[in-house]
Each structure stands twice: as structure tokens, then as C-alpha cells.
């Protein structure tokens, strides 16, 4: 019985444990050794990285939420690429009801975590507000003033949105 095999790529004779298993070959082993296959896989990944990342995102949205890339892009555009809760430009995640699976919209990751916590812990927000009112910080008035000023800003125009995006990187 033969305990070695020649790799089709590097032409080196190697032990059988240097080859991955493959159900559709006569000897049930791949034709390329693990080293050659790993090198070619890495090369393929780096040459096609953007396409592979997009495909992975498309698959994620479709399999987890039943959304196509076009639907996600339309949702982003409808909210002007701004998180509807904190009004920042950020990477978005899909906010959905874990009980029903219904998609509520796109929000930033920080707001998604906060919404999930509030959803699972009713009454927590009131306790947090009471705590902050009791133990306010010296900067509290400045922060509240900024929040009020920010909420009074009319919906973003395209120019203002672009300026905000370039400032945040």
C-alpha cells in the first residue's frame, strides 16, 4: 500500500496526511497538498476580497433577515445614512424584534445594544435617568444644551450630511 502522493502543483512527493480529504477523487484525497491549496486559497481571497466581503454581507442580510442588498441600501438612503436614534453617521446593523423576527429598521451598533437592553429590562431607563439626575456631572448642563441644540437641527441636507461624514472620517 502506498503511503505517499505527489502534489499536482508543487510536484513534491508527500505523506498522505499532507493532503485534505475529498470525496470525489479515487483515493479520497485532494490533488494538491495542503500547503499549495492554502497558498492558492489565500491568493484568491486577497485578489477577490471586496467581492467576497460583499457576498458575505448579502448572504448575512438575506439568510438572517430576508433582506436583499437593494432593500438595505434603500433603507439607508431613506434615513439619509443617519442613525434615527442618536443622529450619527455610522455603520448600521439591522434592528429586529427577537420574538417575531420583524425588521424595525437600521440603527448604529451602540443604539442597537441600548435598545436591546431596554427591551429586555423594562423600567431600567427610568432608573438610569433618576440616577443621573441625582448624581449629575459638572458638564451635565453643557451636554443637555448640546442635545437640545442638536435635536432642533432640521433634517440634513445633502451638503450638511457630506460635511458630517467627512468630519467623522
Reading the block at residue 5, the C-alpha cell is 502522493
Residue 107 confidence (pLDDT): 92
Average confidence (pLDDT) per 10 residues, the chain, 169 residues: 90 96 94 96 93 91 91 90 87 88 90 86 83 71 52 47 57
CATH of segment(s) 81-168: 3.40.1800
CA distance 107 to 86: 9
- Ordered by start, the domain boundaries in the chain are 4-47, 81-168
Residue 1 confidence (pLDDT): 59
Residue 86 confidence (pLDDT): 87
Reading the block at residue 82, the C-alpha cell is 443617519
SS3 81: coil
Residue 148 confidence (pLDDT): 47
Residue 8 confidence (pLDDT): 96
- Write the DSSP assignment of 41-54 as a string of letters: HHHHHHHSHHHHHH
Rg of the chain, C-alpha, whole Å: 26
SS3 79: coil
Residue 155 confidence (pLDDT): 47
pTM (2 decimals)?
A: 0.54
CA distance 81 to 60: 20
CB 127 within 8 A of CB 135: no
Amino acid at each position: 500500500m502506498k503511503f505517499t502522493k505527489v502534489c499536482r502543483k508543487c510536484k513534491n512527493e508527500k505523506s498522505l496526511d499532507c493532503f485534505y480529504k475529498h470525496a470525489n477523487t479515487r483515493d479520497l484525497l485532494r490533488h494538491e497538498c495542503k500547503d499549495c491549496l492554502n497558498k492558492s486559497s489565500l491568493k484568491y481571497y486577497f485578489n477577490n476580497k471586496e467581492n467576497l466581503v460583499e457576498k458575505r454581507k448579502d448572504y448575512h442580510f438575506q439568510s438572517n433577515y430576508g433582506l436583499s442588498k437593494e432593500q438595505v441600501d434603500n433603507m439607508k438612503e431613506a434615513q439619509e445614512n443617519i442613525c434615527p436614534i442618536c443622529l450619527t453617521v455610522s455603520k448600521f446593523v439591522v434592528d429586529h424584534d427577537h420574538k417575531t423576527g420583524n425588521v424595525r429598521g437600521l440603527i448604529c451598533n451602540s443604539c442597537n445594544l441600548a435598545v436591546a437592553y431596554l427591551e429586555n429590562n423594562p423600567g431600567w431607563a427610568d432608573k438610569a435617568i433618576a440616577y443621573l439626575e441625582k448624581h449629575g456631572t459638572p458638564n451635565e448642563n453643557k451636554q443637555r444644551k448640546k442635545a437640545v441644540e442638536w435635536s432642533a437641527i432640521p433634517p440634513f441636507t445633502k451638503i450638511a450630511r457630506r460635511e458630517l461624514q467627512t468630519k467623522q472620517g
